[in-house]
Amino acid sequence: MEDLIVKAHGTPDPKIDCLDHGFVRLIDAMPRVSYGESVVTCDSAITQAARVSYGDGTKKVNEDVGLIRYLMRHRHTTPTEMVEFKFHCKMPLFVARQWIRHRMASVNEMSARYSKMPNEFFIPQPEDLRAQSTSNKQVSEGGVSLDDAEDWLCEVEEHCENAYKLYEKGIDFGFGRELARMVLPVNIYTEWYWKIDLHNLLHFLSLRCDAHAQKEIRVFGDAILELIKPLVPHVIDAFDAYHPLRGGELFSSMEVDALSKLIRGDAEVELDSDNTREIAEWFKKCEKLGIVS
């Protein structure tokens, strides 16, 4: 009998540090044990489940890798639900708030009603402060003045210290922890156990490892991806090759039309749309394809 996590990582609970005090630790996987050669990685659980659906017919035509790539390419996602991962994670509360929106997962979080929150706050490096994007209001990008950053972070550190003192003062007064914690800022660290199947995890990773995700959650996404990659290598290869938020690219019907005309020799690259944002997105894809420079 072999432990697939130990085989992949050399330890039964591999851990990657994230930000200044956070981490992701892989603590379990299903399948986890291998007898003989039948279960080489967790990928095996996917082909096993797919074969019950597709029956004998698949035996000769598809090798395991081909089957996984086929399932991923055509979004036959139910077999990937057959793989499950469990993590122990520690992250700032504002990261946890984005993370928890992924509902199809099981979570046990440290309770600020029951336990006293530890005195640990996320303080970014000055060079990690980013400017508010003007083109996409949801993201930050580009540099800011390092002097401003250092100045502000200094105040942030002091602010967190004060917040924690006020928190402790409330507890010392005998107030309920559930009340005293109201003064804590959202860069305080929390931790949880998080269990999720591979199908839902890939959805999480597609969004949270993407350039549009806030950098502070992206480091957690990247860490998770690194931890699971050796356990489901062919799935991740296919994910990177086919998913529109990874290496793949999704074209709208108007873009397919434009592409088609272009290839047939039409000189002008025009999209049948009067939406400026959509036109800008089309030009970005054209650049990627080397059509415009």
61 to 120, contacts with a second copy by CB under 8 A? 66, 69-70, 73, 78-79, 81-82, 84, 86, 88, 92-94, 97, 100-101, 103-104, 106-116
**Which residue out of 208, 218, 246, 264 is catalytically annotated?**
208
Size of the site for a second copy (CB under 8 A): 125
* CA 5 to centroid of chain Cα atoms: 20
Q: Name every residue whose Cβ is closer than 8 Å to that of residue 283 and which is 6 or more positions away in sequence.
A: 269, 292
User: Contact between 3 and a second copy (CB under 8 A)?
Assistant: yes
* Burial class of residue 253 (count of CB atoms within 10 Å of its CB; 0-12, 13-18, 19+): exposed
Q: Does 251 bind a second copy (CB under 8 A)?
A: yes
Q: Find the binder of a second copy among 14, 21, 64, 254 (CB under 8 A).
A: 254
Sign of CA dihedral 99, 101, 107, 108: positive
- What residues from 195 to 234 belong to the interface with a second copy (CB under 8 A)? 195, 197, 214, 216
Q: Is 218 a catalytic residue?
A: no
Nearest by Cα to 32 from 231, 191, 235: 231
**Which residues from 124-183 bind a second copy, rule CB under 8 A?**
124, 129-133, 137-141, 144-145, 148-149, 152, 155-156, 159-160, 162-163, 166, 169-171, 173-179, 181-183
SS3 of residue 137 by DSSP: coil
Half-sphere exposure (Cβ direction) of 195: Cα atoms closer than 13 Å? 10
- Give min distance, CB of 75 to a second copy, in A: 8
Query: Would you name the residues annotated as active-site residues?
Result: 208
